[in-house]
Structure 1
């Protein structure tokens, strides 16, 4: 009984660590869908807000909206407590839950037609129905992906390591910023670039930033896959005992070394996401620091008269900070480029990889060691 409880609690530990795919027999119906319930219930109840402004008016409308919000939060909280125990549903219950969720995009618009007195064009009704269905479908797929790979746990872990990443980022900036500035510093003071940034919209600047982010993700995926391949699974008893400290398997005695278990494609992707999340958090921290650096540099060097001379007209001022918009867009552009450059550097340089990936790789090694003990205990329970 104790071993069975330890196995179940270890599965919960995998979920909190952002590595739920390490659970043996991990599947959509048995593990993913039950943990999706809080989000699905939140969206289902929230869809009722579509109906509120149609008949209610004045203060009554806000009261109804408030009730819906309270019910949404209550459903999320109650179901979150329920799914922490990793419940399993029968096939009939699974089909019922998915059917209720799938019926909401049709049920809510039909209910709208029943209670609404206003007459709308058939085209508008069809457009609203299709948009509602697309929203529910996208929300379902996104929730499934986030739940399958434990992204919520990974985000929480990334937040916990933010201060650690900040210290590492300062070290990385001190090592890599000088050579990067040698390439980008003169471009920052290019008049043609200031003219382009003065006219370029923030939407297009955002697309450029997303392009740099995509390059960072692709580089991280290629490099981190090699890092996962280098992770050594040392499964000696003393190593396993040290890895299991602070987990539900603490105190489990392993008499002899265990053999590493082959990882599935889904498990490898989960570990890849675990490493990439930390890499992206570090890139975001570096990007913010570079943005502040370039804004400060622009304030010191580029006076309003110089900016007007480069642009050829009075610069457009940002309504948020009261600074030239071209300066902020330039800083954003170079921060995104510098963040990409430093992220790739940290993965390609051996010293940087040891400095910034050591703790992350240790976490992966610990997860694999705990998984080995978990599989061994689980086998003993079943036998």
Structure 2
């Protein structure tokens, strides 16, 4: 069972770092600037409602526990009412929690916060609008008619953390005559209002993507218009607007915030995360290690196959897996699975070929445009056709 604590673990950790950075942690109760007894990271009462009194003492671990409890009890229940909250990643949630800790959990919809409320409302409909939030946060730097340097620094840091999840613009180049669709089903079942024809060579500017499990379709949000359509990924080539990677040396860490960086020789960060910065793994985490491992296997498959291979699904953190309706035990949540397809070649032929060379989990989704490979039980690629999947199924 997924608890609130589990679902928000990364968000809470980052929010607490931000709050403690600017509030400080004072283990001995003191009188604040307006005469109220205060302790820890600005607490004036304990989680059970008891007021802080002069003479109180708390260890730093206890202070952190109080802070976490108050965030869960009094702040998150209010912030979840913000439209689109569930689709925000941990960075954006943490930035809003830090802002709320400073200015109160009821800011959304309140007098004096109209611009921020409008930006959050608009962003829930068109993610491109979220890019306005850092500038709006920077306006809240005044107290008692005086602009405070500390608040300027705090708002700048909250804005920087928020901007970590700006996906930027992805360019989708059409390779095969296809349709934009209002549902991820065969186009012949849609009315003329439910589909839009696209010709080879046409491009789309996309500002947000959303995976659809067990299919090669994907939701995309178009730049400027904010319209949402599904696309059949094998019909498109995807690149970023910048398409640049800094020169790297062997052993340099992967820049998970750069879709053009590489997990391995052939697997890009964009493919592994499906162009969604909310999915970035922690550096040094088990998920990062598994992504690197499956990237290495992807390279071996690519080299042996002798042609380009596309990716329609990669790493899905637990919260995103739930959001898109993924299986609760999915290996995508561990960074151990990819859904792939041979570019310009028969998916069925590719499946038959790899089924003799793969020892992990193998799913035949060719009727939906992809093949699932995962590295459970140490699954690996065997180029000499002497491997068999540890488990096999059809979608």
Tell whether the structures are fold-level matches, with TM greater than 0.5. no
Point out the structure with the larger helix share: 1
Point out the structure with the larger strand share: 2
**Which one scores higher on RCO, CA 8 angstroms, separation ≥ 6?**
1
